[in-house]
Amino acid sequence: MVSVTYPDLARALNLPGVELAPAEAHGALCGAMCATPGYGVEEWLIEVLPDTAASGPVRELLARVFARTHEELTGPMFEFHPLLPGDDAALADRVVALAEWCAGFLYGIGIGRVVTADQLGGDVGEIIKDFSEISRAGVSPGDDEEENEAAFAELVEFVRAGTLVVFGELATVRDRVLPPAGGLH
């Protein structure tokens, strides 16, 4: 498996004109992979680096993030994990990153070419609603640190599992979607 860390992605996206936070960029990738048949690395690069001519090393690193994410979502071992700061980061920073990841995921679902209101029922709809709530998460000052850590770990696991459910549930829809209007070029 191709290994890329959150700090690697943060350094790669630290470019003039790049407005996405690293977690948000990864969330958008995951949402788009769930909702767009054949979503490719070039499509993601356009979303992440819209006005930036990325150097070879940056493009290479982003391609590795793409490949790792694709492997994790499609692999048989349920190894997917949202790309977030490590436990050494402050809890408040990790919560912000998780909120950004969920916001990015919702964006990725939104730019997808398969999801309609009909497909957002059942488990997928509930997960999308929950991700929307998580995208507004924060840490209140004075809360018990240990309880907050436990709650954060539960939210990360929910996001991890929820993403796999959405990816799996939308697989049949992705497989039968027609090309975008206007035909192939």
d(Cα 95, Cα 23) in Å, to the nearest integer?
Answer: 11
Identify the structural domains of the chain with CATH numbers, from first to last: 6-176 (1.20.120.740)
Residue 52 CB-density burial (10 A; 0-12 exposed, 13-18 middle, 19+ buried): middle
pLDDT digits (tens, 9 = 90+) for 73-93: 998 888 899 999 999 999 999
Tell me the two tokens of residue 95.
């919560």
d(Cα 108, Cα 29) in Å, to the nearest integer?
Answer: 6
Give pLDDT, residue 164: 97
pLDDT digits (tens, 9 = 90+) for 9-59: 999 898 888 888 999 999 999 999 999 988 999 999 988 887 666 678 888
pTM: 0.89
Contact status, residue 82 vs residue 6, Cβ threshold 8 Å: no
d(Cα 10, Cα 8) in Å, to the nearest integer?
Answer: 5
CA 122 to the chain's CA centroid: 21
